[in-house]
A = this chain, B = another copy of it.
Amino acid sequence: MAEDEAPKISLEPSKTAFVFIEFQNEFVHEGGKLYEPCKASLEKYGTLTNGAKLLKKARDTNCLVVHCPILFEKGHNEIGPNPYGILKGVKDGEAFMSGTFGSKICAEMEPSDDEIIVKGKSGLCGFSSTNLDFLLRQRKIENLVLSGFLSNCCVESTMRSAYELGYQVYTVKDACGATDVDAQEACFKYNFGMFSVPTTSDVIIDSIATP
């Protein structure tokens, strides 16, 4: 089914959580260790602007807001002594280290005092090393609206797990970012439709009635 034939989305706030994945300075601002490679995708999609619009809408409609940062203590001891793959890059680059500028959630997406911040994310999937599923199940959340970084890494892993866990998953393409625009567009094209309803920030914003 083409997206323009998609049935209208309508989300009930009490059953809906917005999960904001790694909107951290490391990716989105000058001085962040992965800002340079992310810049093209941030600009092409307007990721930050759209992320902030989603956050405002979620707050205005009393949807559950969940911030999901990735964090490591100094020394990155959460990762083993001989890593490979993406965690090797994270450890070698000392990225997302607690207390640094890079690890902070960016000003545009700053959590308010009563919002939930997921704990324990030492890996890629938002569920596998965290209390995210626990938090969502405690509130009987059925719909997940996913956005953030990186489209084909943590967002995609979180989407894949969320789908298997039985959530109704919405992925907001224009509120995601990646270190490579082609990588982002490949996962949108080939993978996101298998494990979610891929959509845009405008569609999501229209899908919830403001009270």
Residues of A within 8 A of B (CB): 73, 75, 77-81, 83-86, 114, 116, 118-125, 128-131, 133-140, 142, 152-153, 156-157, 160-161, 163-168, 180, 182-183, 186-187, 189-191, 193-197
Enumerate chain B residues within 8 angstroms of A83, measured Cβ to Cβ. 138
- Pairwise interchain contact B194-A135, C-beta atoms closer than 8 A: no
Find out whether the CB atom of B190 lies under 8 angstroms from the CB atom of A183. Answer: yes
Contact between chains at A160 and B157 (CB < 8 Å): yes
A-B pairs with beta carbons under 8 Å apart, 7 shown = A75-B114, A124-B195, A129-B130, A137-B166, A152-B190, A153-B194, A186-B190
One complex includes copies of this chain to the number of 4
Contact A164-B120, Cβ < 8 Å, known A190-B183, A191-B187: no
Taking a contact as CB atoms closer than 8 A, the residue among B75, B114, B129, B191 that contacts A164 in the complex is B129
* Inter-chain contact A125/B164, CB cutoff 8 Å: yes
Which chain B residues border A180 with CB–CB below 8 Å?
190
B191 touches A152 (CB 8 A): yes
With contacts A119-B119, A129-B130 known, is A79 near B138, CB below 8 A?
Answer: yes
> Which residues of chain B are near A73, meaning CB under 8 Å?
116
Residue of B nearest to A89 (CB): B194
Instruction: Indicate if the CB atoms of B131 and A120 lie closer than 8 Å.
Output: yes
Task: Name the residue of chain B whose CB is nearest to the CB of A71.
Answer: B119
Residue from B125, B142, B191, B197 within 8 A of A84 (CB atoms) = B197
Contact residues in B for A114 (Cβ distance below 8 Å): 75, 77
Q: CA separation between A154 and B171, bound complex, in Å?
A: 19
| Bound form: Cα–Cα A84–B190 in Å | 16
User: Considering the chains assembled together, what is the distance between the CA atoms of A78 and B117 in angstroms?
Assistant: 10
Question: Which residues from chain B contact A84 at a C-beta distance below 8 Å?
Answer: 168, 197
The complex places the Cα of A85 from the Cα of B121 at a distance, in Å, of 27
User: Cβ of A163: which chain B residues have Cβ within 8 Å of it?
Assistant: 85, 124
A125 touching B196 by the CB < 8 A rule?
no
Shortest C-beta distance, A162 to chain B (Å), equals: 11
